[in-house]
Every structure is written in structure tokens, then in C-alpha cells.
């Protein structure tokens, strides 16, 4: 009984995981330094996670040795995985850390790490898109490369001053050719339409001609699948999974945010999808239990804390829903990241992620999952793109919603977003003949 009371007490007061994985267990495969609940320490911890995730990919790719040294784990055919997993790893990692790479005004050890990662990322872009490189990646064969060409494209949208503008003319030509080559794939009638639209959005950002059939039309299809209360169907039907956060909401927000800055006719659509994303982020925050866990629900749960990209994106954009503070999101996400990243056997002996949700759980990996797929977890840490002085990082620790409710605090009831009948116009870009 004493132990039970102590456990309940810890849930009520903690601002990081109440049930952290033991350090001894975590150190069985890698080392992570325990982080107290101070806000500055949270950022230091996230940076350690980024360094742990990113170093094997970026270091090997910058040396053009990724295909030689990266292991492949998965339940699907190895031939398929070997065609896809390298672009998955690179595109998904950059997609998540791009806002941090774009951040200015850093100093000290964080600046040194950022500069190191930036240099390796640019070298990696050359290695990945140079047809003569041993690490030249597959942008065309099969359906999967369109997905990760899109994630790479979204990285450019999130960090144009770091990942695009400084590139030399040769590398820019390689990147454009790689993105255009993905047009050979026609996406299925589901969230994949947004992958084609993301590629076109990056080409638009680069000043290249775009295709209405793969940009505006696919945006129209996606918004038509809205099902209410901030959630879209994955195609005609709604799925109980995290794809509204893995793909749908962040892609719509990023694409329409780009287009509205070039054409004011897109402003209403941007405001509409942003309102829905804010509601979905509100739901996501409420899914985080008092002890820093969340349901493994639906497919692709091996993307781990990448499931919270929508919430992280709203934090990054400083547009969190009403009643959700930056500090409570920081503390909640830190709790989740700690539980997942410190679970035993999350990494192999060389520091590569292994298939699993909490630790190594290979049976959770669908046929399309391989080692590279797992690096979508990085999108759960988009808020590193906020300055260390931002209140997300500097405000004192705060309880998140379920901690407050389960400790007996009286809060206002949750309420739905009723905008099912709202129709957004997706206009056609003005194109020269």
C-alpha cells in the first residue's frame, strides 16, 4: 500500500516521465544522461537525442558510405527495403531537424553541433542526388520513393536558407532532377496525394514550373476528405491511426503556408487548415497519459514519438490551442521521448534505431517498415526550431492536461470543432503559357 501511494503521488507531481526506464536497462545498448526537470535541461536532452539519431546517418552519408554501413531490419522483402531505406532515413531525419538547422542565434556547444550537422547535411544532399555517387538514392522505382522524396522536399520548405540557398549550382540541379524524377509515380487515393503535392511545393519554392494535377488538384482532394473535429479521412474513409499527424495536417499547413505568401487567394484555406491542425493538436495533447505514455494505435507506430508531429508543429509555429501552454507541451513531449528513447534495445550496438514502439519489437513492423523508416520519430522534436530563450524552453515546468485531471484538478470540459460544412477554395496558380 505504501508503494502504491508513492506511485500515485509521483504521477501527480512529475513533469517528466513518472516511470522512466531504469538507467541500467537503458545503458544496456547506449548511454543517455538522466535529465532533471529544469527547462534548460530539457533542451539539452533533446539535443542529445538529435545527435544520437542523426550522427550515424549524416556522418556516413557525408562520406558516401551510408549504403555500406547502414543495417537493414524489417519484415518485408529485403530487396524492397534496400531500394528504399536509405532515402527514408535521410529524408525523414532532415524533415524533422530542418527547423533547428534553420535557427539562427545559437551559441556554444549547440551552435557547434548545428554547424556540424549542417555541413554533413549539405554534403549528404550531394551524395544522395549525384548519379555517380555510391550513395545515390532511389527516387523513382516503386511507390515508396515518392513518400520520402516528399519528406526531403518538406525539409527544404522548413529550412530553405540552410538546406537550399547555400548549395552550389551543380547540387541544386541534381536535387531538382531528383525531385522531378519522382513524378513518374501516381499516388493512390489516400494521404499519398500529399506526397506528390509536397514535391511540387518544393519545386515551386525553387522557382520551377509545377503541375496543377499534382499540386492544386491533390490539395483539393485532401481537403475534401475532411471528416470533422479537426480530423481528415485517409482517403474516403477515416482510419484510427496517427497519419493525421505523421503526414496530413503538417503537409497541408506547410504547403498552404508557402502558397499564401505568394498568392493571397490561399490565405482562407491556410487559416482553415490551421484551425483544424490546432484542434487536432489539442486532441493529441490530451492523449498523453499522466506517466508520459500514449496508445500504440493503428499502423506505423514504430515511428515512435513522430506521432506527435502536429502538436510539435503547432508549438513551433507558436499557435498552440487555447488552454495548452508551451511548457506543458515541452514537459509532455520530453516525458514521451525519454520513455521511448531510453527503452532497452531501442538502438543496436552501432547506434542505429531498431524496429519497435518502446524498445525492440520487430513484430510491430509492417512490410513497408525498415530501418530507415524509423527516423520519422525526429518530427516529434520540431520545437528545437524555437530559440532557447523562447518560453517553450524557458518557462518553468508545467503539468499537462491528463496529469492535472488525474491529480484531481477541475478543468473545463473538452469541446469539438464544428466546421464540417466549411468549404475551402484551392485556387489555381497563375502559370505562364
Whole-number pLDDT of residue 77: 79
Whole-number pLDDT of residue 433: 57
**Domains of the chain, earliest start first:** 21-406 (1.50.10)
Whole-number pLDDT of residue 420: 87
Report yes or no: 155 and 378 within 8 Å, Cβ to Cβ. Answer: no
Summarize pLDDT for 353-404 with one digit per residue, the tens: 999 999 999 999 999 999 999 999 999 999 999 999 999 999 999 999 999 9
Dist. CA 329–CA 289, nearest whole Å: 12
Dist. CA 265–CA 268, nearest whole Å: 7
Cell numbers describing residue 420 = 464540417
Whole-number pLDDT of residue 78: 78
Element spanning 280, H or E:
helix 267-286
Whole-number pLDDT of residue 2: 44
Using alpha carbons, list the distances in angstroms from residue 419 to 25, 196, 228. 47, 27, 7
Summarize pLDDT for 164-173 with one digit per residue, the tens: 999 999 999 9
Please list the ranges in the chain whose pLDDT falls under 70.
1-39, 79, 433
pTM beyond 0.85: the answer is yes
Nearest alpha carbon to residue 340 among 373, 374, 293:
293
Q: Is 70 exposed, middle or buried (0-12, 13-18, 19+ CB in 10 A)?
A: buried
Report yes or no: 42 and 334 within 8 Å, Cβ to Cβ. Answer: yes
DSSP assignment of 338-381, as one string? HHHHTSTTSB-TTS-B-S-SSS--GGG--TT-BGGGGGGGGGGG
- Tell me whether strands 231-232 and 226-228 are parallel, antiparallel or unpaired: antiparallel
Dist. CA 68–CA 66, nearest whole Å: 5
Whole-number pLDDT of residue 421: 85
Q: What is the CA radius of gyration of the chain?
A: 21
Amino acid at each position: 500500500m505504501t508503494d502504491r501511494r508513492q506511485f500515485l503521488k509521483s504521477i501527480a507531481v512529475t513533469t517528466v516521465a513518472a516511470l522512466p526506464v531504469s538507467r541500467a536497462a537503458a545503458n544496456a545498448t547506449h548511454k543517455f544522461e538522466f535529465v532533471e526537470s529544469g527547462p534548460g535541461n530539457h533542451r539539452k536532452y533533446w539535443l542529445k537525442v538529435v545527435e544520437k539519431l542523426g550522427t550515424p546517418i549524416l556522418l556516413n552519408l557525408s562520406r558516401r558510405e551510408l549504403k555500406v554501413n547502414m543495417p537493414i531490419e524489417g519484415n518485408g522483402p529485403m530487396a524492397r527495403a534496400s531500394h528504399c531505406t536509405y532515402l527514408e532515413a535521410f529524408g525523414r531525419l532532415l524533415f524533422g531537424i530542418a527547423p533547428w538547422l534553420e535557427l539562427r542565434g545559437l551559441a556554444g556547444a549547440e551552435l557547434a553541433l548545428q554547424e556540424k550537422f549542417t555541413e554533413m547535411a549539405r554534403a549528404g544532399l550531394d551524395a544522395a542526388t549525384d548519379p555517380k555517387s555510391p550513395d545515390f538514392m532511389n527516387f523513382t522505382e516503386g511507390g515508396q520513393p515518392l513518400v520520402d522524396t516528399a519528406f526531403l522536399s518538406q525539409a527544404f520548405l522548413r529550412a530553405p536558407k540552410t538546406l537550399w540557398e547555400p548549395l552550389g549550382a551543380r547540387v541544386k540541379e541534381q536535387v531538382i532532377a531528383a525531385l522531378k524524377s519522382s513524378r513518374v509515380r501516381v499516388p493512390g487515393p489516400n494521404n499519398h496525394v500529399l506526397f506528390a503535392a509536397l514535391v511540387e511545393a518544393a519545386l515551386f519554392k525553387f522557382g520551377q514550373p509545377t503541375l496543377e494535377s499534382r499540386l492544386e488538384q491533390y490539395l483539393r482532394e485532401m481537403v475534401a476528405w475532411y471528416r470533422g473535429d479537426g480530423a481528415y479521412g485517409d482517403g474516403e474513409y477515416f482510419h484510427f491511426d496517427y497519419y493525421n499527424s505523421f503526414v496530413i495536417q503538417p503537409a497541408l499547413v506547410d504547403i498552404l503556408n508557402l502558397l499564401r505568401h505568394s498568392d493571397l487567394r490561399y490565405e482562407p484555406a491556410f487559416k482553415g487548415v490551421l484551425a483544424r491542425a490546432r484542434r487536432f493538436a489539442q486532441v493529441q495533447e490530451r492523449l498523453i497519459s499522466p506517466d508520459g505514455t500514449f496508445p500504440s494505435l493503428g499502423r506505423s507506430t514504430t515511428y515512435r514519438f513522430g506521432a506527435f508531429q502536429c502538436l510539435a508543429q503547432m508549438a513551433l509555429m507558436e499557435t498552440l490551442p487555447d488552454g495548452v501552454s508551451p511548457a506543458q507541451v515541452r514537459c509532455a513531449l520530453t516525458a514521451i521521448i525519454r520513455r521511448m528513447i531510453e527503452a532497452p534495445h531501442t538502438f543496436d550496438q552501432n547506434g542505429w534505431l531498431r524496429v519497435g514502439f518502446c524498445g525492440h519489437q520487430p513484430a510491430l513492423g509492417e512490410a513497408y517498415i525498415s530501418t530507415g523508416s524509423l527516423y520519422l520519430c525526429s518530427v516529434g522534436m520540431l520545437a528545437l526550431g524555437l530559440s532557447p530563450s523562447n518560453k517553450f524552453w524557458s518557462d518553468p515546468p508545467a503539468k499537462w492536461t491528463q496529469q492535472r485531471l488525474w491529480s484531481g484538478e477541475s478543468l473545463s470540459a473538452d469541446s469539438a470543432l464544428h466546421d464540417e460544412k466549411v468549404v475551402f477554395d484551392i485556387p489555381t496558380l497563375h502559370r505562364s503559357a
